Amino acid sequence: MGLIMNTCTENKWHEVWTRKGTEGGESLEDLMKADGFDTGTGAISVKDWMRTSADIKKKLETEKAFRILEVGCGAGAMLYTFRDSGPEIFGVDYSETLLKKAKSAIPELQGKVCEASALDFDDNMFEAVFSHGVFFYFRDLNYAEQAMDEIRRVLTPNGKIFILDIPDFEKRELCEKYRRDVVYAGEEYPTAEDSPYRHLYYSKEWFHEYGKKHGMKVQTFDQDLESYPMSPYRFNALLTF
């Protein structure tokens, strides 16, 4: 995986996410807000949220799964849409405050506080694993590879992985320009290459290479969410055996 695209050493997103989760109620909208999908470039409508949830269920065939896991589940806004859908629901997040909120909103959730790169589960536990809106907070591509390795470790032999909301490296310049000109117009722009708050971009090739290395088929899909300003710059990746 020789593509070095972001090399920033410091990453302050953990601090940001640990400050969240202590306010608001437990409706879907409240959970989306706690997970940062309420304002600015992060805003997604409930209609698009439910479309994404339906897409995850379909691509991962979650109705056939015994257990599903979300990596970086936050306050549980996406897992909330999986209540009563069949499988047992598991989630991990490195933010203790957000996970506490998720457990309170979804009593059946089996949640653990841990890093995506060190999943606190036994091998072969989940038929389906997804991660929504998380991979761009990782510090670099080596960390992302560790997280993918962990996801594969906890996956059952024929399990499926769906990573969503991935910043497309091919569209990085356009995306950064949009954020700089439209979103942060007149303010200090926090996502410069060396900022501890910058986003990590991935080429689709990175996922294809990962799949090839581990005998998995990879399909990528451009994100298509009308309400989400970041959608034109993001894609989703499905990995199956």
Ligand X SMILES: C[S@@+](CC[C@H](N)C(=O)[O-])C[C@H]1O[C@@H](n2cnc3c(N)ncnc32)[C@H](O)[C@@H]1O
**Close Cβ partners of 160 (under 8 Å, ≥ 6 residues apart):** 59, 60, 61, 127, 128, 129, 238, 239, 240
Task: Determine which residue in the list 65, 98, 163, 238 makes contact with ligand X, applying CB under 6 A.
Answer: 98
By C-beta, is 190 or 212 nearer to ligand X? 190
Closest approach of ligand X to the CB of residue 215, in Å: 25
Restricted to residues 11-70, the positions that interact with ligand X (CB under 6 A) are 13, 17, 35-36
**With contacts defined by CB under 6 A, how many residues of the chain interact with ligand X?**
20
Residue whose tokens read 């995986």: 1
Where helices occur in the chain by DSSP H, the ranges are 13-19, 28-34, 46-60, 96-105, 141-154, 172-178, 204-213
By C-beta, is 149 or 212 nearer to ligand X? 149
End-to-end CA distance of the chain: 20
Closest approach of ligand X to the CB of residue 125, in Å: 17
Say whether residue 73 binds ligand X (CB under 6 A): yes
Please report, as ranges, the residues that interact with ligand X according to CB under 6 A.
13, 17, 35-36, 72-74, 77-78, 93-95, 98, 115-116, 132-134, 137-138
